[in-house]
Amino acid sequence: MKKLIPISIAILFIAVIILFVMQCNVSKECAAPAGKAETPAIRADGTDLTIAYINTDTLLLNYQLSRDLNEELLKKQEDARTNLNQEARAFESEMQEFQRKLENNGFLSRDRAEREQQRLINREQELKDLNAKLSNELMVRQQEISSQLLDSITIYLKEMNLDKDYDLILSTTVGGTILHAKDGLNITGEVLDALNNRYKKKK
């Protein structure tokens, strides 16, 4: 019987969520004229881009909303596994009882034995269907959580950027695409503190 798919800290899948391009310049373009090697770092008017980045591993591990949603998902997974295991144990007992009766000629007729066998076959299919249903419910909830976290983070970044006016806010993970940057470009701590403060006020 297939096991439930592992979810645990699967919400880290949204570590690629924020490749977040915002307000580049008056023309809304972040590219310099074609053919210039410095294009990725310069606006069309020749001025430098203002860039920051967020480490989403750190953000999601320490954002209280992410922690709470992850805890909820883990509990849902544990409940689903417990429910499925109970049903599986009951089915196993029924199978053992059927085998015992079959070996000891405990059925009054062959027809009765065949009907019980068919019932167990149907029961096994019900368990497979239950496993698929519970797994699907967990995946759907995981997607909902990912979407909720994405909305929470990007909505805050839009509000924050009204004052900060970054041209680009990038997302990275440990060992991700940003291997080195000046200290001032990492705004993870600032964003994390603000998100946690907002979440605390809403609770």
pLDDT digits (tens, 9 = 90+) for 52-65: 999 999 999 999 99
What's the rounded mean pLDDT across residues 17-31? 35
Nearest to 92 by CA among 118, 68, 133, 123: 123
pLDDT level of residue 137 (50, 70, 90 thresholds): very high
**How far is 176 from 55, CA to CA, in rounded Å?**
9
Burial 119-139 (b: 16+ CB within 10 A, else e): ebeeeeeebeeebeebbeebe
What's the rounded mean pLDDT across residues 83-104? 94
pLDDT level of residue 41 (50, 70, 90 thresholds): low
Q: Which amino acid is at 154?
A: T
Nearest to 85 by CA among 167, 3, 13: 3
Q: Which two tokens stand for residue 101?
A: 């009766």
pLDDT of residue 100: 92
pLDDT of residue 22: 34
Q: How far is CA 34 from CA 28, 40, 124, in A?
A: 16, 11, 64
pTM, entire model: 0.69
Which one is predicted more confidently, 85 or 31?
A: 85
Q: How far is CA 163 from CA 85, 88, 160, 167, in A?
A: 53, 57, 6, 12
Residue 187's CB is within 10 A of a number of other CB atoms, namely 18
pLDDT, averaged across the chain = 81
